[in-house]
Amino acid sequence: MWREVQGSKNWENLVDPLDSLLRSEIIRYGEFVAACYDAFDLDPNSKRYLNCKYGKRSMLSEVGLGESGYQVTKYIYATPDIINHVFPNNISIGSSCGKWIGYIAVSNDEETKRLGRRDVVVTFRGTVTIPEWIANLMSSLTPASLDPHNPRPQVKVEAGFLSLYTSNEDKKFGLGSCREQLLSEIGRVVNKYKGEELSITLAGHSMGSALALLLAYDIAELGLNTHDDHTVPVTVFSFGGPRVGNSGFKERCEELGVKVLRITNVNDPITKLPGVFLNENFRVLGGKYEVPWSCSCYAHVGVEILLDFFKMHNPSCVHDLGTYLSLLKCPKRLHVQKEEDIDFINKAKEFVISGLNFNAALQWKNAAMNMVNMVQSQRT
């Protein structure tokens, strides 16, 4: 059954209605993602500011997951160079040095026996720092070109996400790019347990789900999940995730067998971006120019579980991971009637702008306003 829960049959007959075992697994992986937020140090006066508050051995225990049956093997840092591209005159709006963005954990022997396989989990938090917000506001497609032997120019992804994944600006600590850290550790772990039944599970929230999908594609494209004619399943659990690439990226992920389960809120504007207009639903002249245009259109990947929890006192809840998990834990509340729709867009504007939270950022305030205005135009 674990293979079906991991998407071997594209979650056929498990999504509608939502299977109880699948629901519990979604919650379990969602809690691993929530740990990224709980352990992230946001105190500017702390020596661990914008890094993990705890050591690898104690982190899961410190955030309440000490009985999860997993052990953290590596912390992951992202070193975006977004600021240098957007602000060539070196306007100081924040450091571009490496920030703790997630971790890799492996199930222990007891949990492996319970699950029926050795599970390698990679989790990513969502947007917190200024460069990450800027990356979220970018919307240009660029070739992924992650396999040097076969760059596949038709496979394109969002430039900001790709930069977060591949940039290596923090050379002082010798960390390497986010991608290099991830591929190195995953290769090591898979090789260590290659004689066992394995699964690779990637989970993230918001921007983190975009990184999870990029990593899943990268692993499969490079064949890191294939050993002795045996393919290790690669599964992504995406919470409130945006679109990541074009239709060529979507099709290639499907060809490679990457399984993606997207848990989304119908009222979450982040899941509509990028590609509010040019997306998988776009058609030109009845489809006559559908193929040429498809390379410029964003497309979601995978199977969607669409939630509806609009009736919230605080509009920020529409994208909050805690709300996603709370409602999944209460199945009777998964589908809530929409109410007070008129005031949503104005409140969402205030939420997006306040999330940026940095001084002298008028141009990014305007960008955020434009982003939500696009969402409004789509809703109408």
Please list the active-site residues. Answer: 206, 268, 319
How far is 42 from 32, CA to CA, in rounded Å?
A: 19
How far is 296 from 229, CA to CA, in rounded Å?
A: 35
Structure tokens at 111: 């949990």
How far is 223 from 221, CA to CA, in rounded Å?
A: 5
DSSP 350: H
Structure tokens at 43: 């105190």
Cα-to-chain-centroid distance, residue 48 = 24
Cα-to-chain-centroid distance, residue 68 = 22
Cα-to-chain-centroid distance, residue 69 = 23
Handedness of CA 90, 94, 98, 102 (dihedral sign): negative
DSSP notation for 126-149: ---SHHHHHHHH---EEE----TT
Handedness of CA 157, 209, 363, 369 (dihedral sign): positive
324, 30 contact by CB (below 8 A): yes
DSSP 314: S
Cα-to-chain-centroid distance, residue 231 = 23
Residue 107 CA neighbour count, 13 Å, CB half? 22
